[in-house]
């Protein structure tokens, strides 16, 4: 299995809702990432997990809460989001945090906040 999967593919939520994005990989990778991509912009790193521990938090607002339950799963819990949080959320994984290892991206979740 050489892919990263993400669910759901699309999500529409109101500003008072609580929802979660899920990411899964079965490549034995020990580093997992969340990126946010606005339309016509490059991806921007949000969080990095290494061996199930949060390694990097790029000053992301607390309405985004990551969780890594095990080495194959990565969640992003969403609460009280704003319309400007609407974007494509991409999950990625790599063998570890050694920067020589390429990152493999999932298909993304298209999030719309009303």
Partner 1 sequence: ELKVEQNPLFLSMQEGKNYTIYCNYSTTSDRLYWYRQDPGKSLESLFVLLSNGAVKQEGRLMASLDTKARLSTLHITAAVHDLSATYFCASMNYGGSQGNLIFGKGTKLSVKP
DSSP state of 102: P
Rounded CA separation 40/62 (Å): 25
31 binds partner 1 (CB under 8 A): yes
Rounded CA separation 40/61 (Å): 22
Please, which residue, 16 or 40, has the CB nearer to partner 1?
A: 40
Rounded CA separation 48/94 (Å): 11
Binding residue for partner 1, selected from 23, 25, 36, 43, defined by CB under 8 A: 43
- CB 42 to partner 1: min, Å: 4
95 binds partner 1 (CB under 8 A): no
93 binds partner 1 (CB under 8 A): no
Stretch that binds partner 1, among 19-27, 63-71, 78-86, 93-101 (CB under 8 A): 93-101
Rounded CA separation 87/103 (Å): 20
């Amino acid at each position: 299995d050489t892919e990263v999967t993400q669910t759901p593919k699309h999500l529409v939520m109101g500003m008072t809702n609580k929802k979660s994005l899920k990411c899964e990989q079965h490549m034995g990778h020990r580093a997992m990432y969340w990126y946010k991509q606005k339309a016509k912009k490059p991806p921007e790193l949000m969080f990095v997990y290494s061996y199930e521990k949060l390694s990097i938090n790029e000053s992301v607002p607390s309405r985004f809460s990551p969780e890594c339950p095990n080495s194959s799963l990565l969640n992003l819990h969403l609460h009280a989001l704003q319309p400007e949080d609407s974007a494509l959320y991409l999950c990625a994984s790599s063998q570890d945090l050694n920067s020589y290892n390429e990152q493999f991206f999932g298909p993304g979740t298209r999030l719309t906040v009303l």
